[in-house]
Amino acid sequence: MNLRGLSVLLYKELLRFYKVWLQTLLAPIITALLYFLVFAHALEEQVQVYSGVSYTAFLIPGLVMMSIIQNAFANSSSSLIQSKVTGNIVFVLLSPLSYLEFFLAFVLASMVRGVVVGAGVCLVAVLFVSLPIHSAMILLGFALLSSAVLGSLGIIAGIWAEKFDQLAGFQNFVVLPLSFLSGVFYSIHSLPPFWQAVSHFNPFFYMIDGFRYGFFGVSDVDPWLSFGVIAVSLCLLAAITLFLLKSGYKLRH
């Protein structure tokens, strides 16, 4: 493996979002904080999902994971579509990097951005409410796995899209609805049986539910099931992404 080339491409991807940190880091933290303030103020006295856990505390892990999901996807997808539209993707393709190194650099950068934004949301939110930590390793594991899944999905979307509006459509009609309907603001046990069953087909639900287990030690489904679903999703998306990169689909033609 060309570790030097991998590190240079990774540095380039990290520098890309760091240079515009107001847009890529601070803005999503403020957005999540606004969700937190509005929903916590409106529902704190009306909703209690877990015994002994306030709704405000219940809300924080969902918002943190939603921020990780959306920003990990946005990082890899926006980088690819910008490179394709401006034409500078050719310089990456001409470099002595394999498709595996290309994949790792983009996914690792997405993971960094997702986790940094998620950590920022968590640090700001805990100023308003105390939050227990049941298992720091579970929190870290779900954060890293989930951001890798969305980083891979972002590469697929960036390869598929030919224009910015196509990528925006993918994010608005796939990523955003799945993240909002994954239990960020509610427990699926509050839903009718049909919609509970539908929620179990949403992989984002397992990301948020497992991550929430890391804080409270309780969840809607077994955390090992959540971990398994996310791991399988990562393997499938990574295989698809590597196949597309190796074939050069919409990149070399």
The domain locations on the chain are 23-247
Q: In whole angstroms, how far apart are CA 21 and each of 31, 82, 151?
A: 14, 17, 18
Measure the CA–CA gap between 184 and 75, rounded to whole angstroms. 21
Measure the CA–CA gap between 79 and 102, rounded to whole angstroms. 12
| Single-letter residue type at 186 | Y
Measure the CA–CA gap between 225 and 4, rounded to whole angstroms. 37
Reading the chain (253 residues) residue by residue, the pLDDT tens digits are 788 999 999 999 999 999 999 999 999 999 999 999 888 877 766 666 777 788 888 999 999 999 999 999 999 999 999 999 988 888 888 888 999 999 999 999 999 999 999 999 999 998 888 889 999 999 999 999 999 999 999 999 999 999 999 999 999 999 999 998 888 888 888 888 888 888 899 999 999 999 999 999 998 899 999 999 999 999 999 999 999 999 989 887 6
The contacts of residue 154 (CB under 8 Å, 6+ apart) are 72, 73, 74, 75, 76, 77, 78, 80, 106, 110
So what's the pLDDT on residue 253?
62
Q: Taking a C-beta distance cutoff of 8 angstroms, is the pair 84, 162 a contact?
A: yes
Phi, psi of 169 (to 5 degrees): -65, -40
Terminal-residue alpha carbon distance, the chain: 26
pTM for the full predicted model: 0.93
So what's the pLDDT on residue 39?
82
